[in-house]
Amino acid sequence: MTTQDRLAETHTRIVKSEAAALGFEACGIARAERLDDDARRLERWLSQGMNGGMSYMERHFDLRIDPTRLVPGARSVITLLMSYHQEETQVPGAPKIASYAWGADYHEVIRAKLNQLLDVIRNQIGAIDGRGFVDSAPVLERSWAQRAGLGWVGRNGNLINRSMGSEFFIATLITDLELMADDPFAKDWCGSCRRCIDACPTEAILPDKVVDGSKCISYFTIELKDNIIPREMQGKFDDWMFGCDVCQDVCPWNRFAKPTREAAFQPLPEILNFTTREWEALTEDAFRKIFRHSPLKRSKHTGIMRNLSFLRSSADQISQT
């Protein structure tokens, strides 16, 4: 082993040890290089209009596939996983909220941890360049996670880890630090399972491991900016008001999901206990106060009220048939 290799090995141990100390359940490393295969898949997905109204997916294409465009001289891409799995449940009959959104906004929580990790690395190793990303920049985080040996992309489009399932956040740290790369995860453990495909209420999950984002309940309840949800979706939302967990709830690998250890991700009492009537009576001022640090603020009060109105009209339509 060369001196450079030994140094990279030492630096890798430091990165993984400090990541674990900050509460990340997994850490993997890949070499920073262009994602040419992913570029072709993304181009096909966009050309078929599967991003719906998410026009931001079409921007900064070159940045998505080349980490050196985000961090000049990038050598390593570090991927980190942090569980958000919850063992609590919402009050029966209430509008459903995807469990990742039950606690504090993960963008704020994990971005702070990435900054801490960078600071610690710089203190122990020296001056390095690096940028952290949490689902809010042109980074193909699931592809990097697979290359870093942390799992495979399932039929539902989620990264699946054999010991954690898929109920976790993915963070990416791109750096010019030379590290020891992990072996890519080579096997697809979905096998012949079709549970997520068969369970998807809007048939957004296609058989060839493609998810039509323009049909996903999460798209309609979070990303869609229109004042009205298309009528053809009525009766298909299964009471989901913000996001959707159906494909993860039915995934066999989530029997291994680990309860979150992060205090900031503990559920807000209102998320668990609000009834439909309490949600519908929620004023804009109260919404801003209660959910000021919650992912729900992305939909704003107007979006939540729109979603509730759609669920109510869907229920009325079903009761009349």
Check: CB of residue 159 under 8 Å from CB of residue 151.
yes
CA 194 remoteness from chain centre: 21
Residue ranges in the chain assigned as alpha helix (H): 3-21, 36-47, 61-65, 106-125, 141-147, 195-199, 217-218, 246-249, 269-273, 276-280, 284-290, 300-320
Per-residue exposure over 181-207, b if at least 16 CB sit within 10 Å of its own CB, e if not = bbeebeeeebeeeebbbebbbbebbee
Confirm whether 182 is a catalytic residue.
no
Phi and psi at 30, nearest 5°, equal -130, 155
CA dist., res. 134 & res. 171, Å (int)? 5
CA dist., res. 124 & res. 302, Å (int)? 47
Residue among 38, 66, 135, 238 flagged as catalytic: 135
Closest CA relative to residue 85, chosen from 265, 317, 315: 265
Annotated active-site positions, please? 135
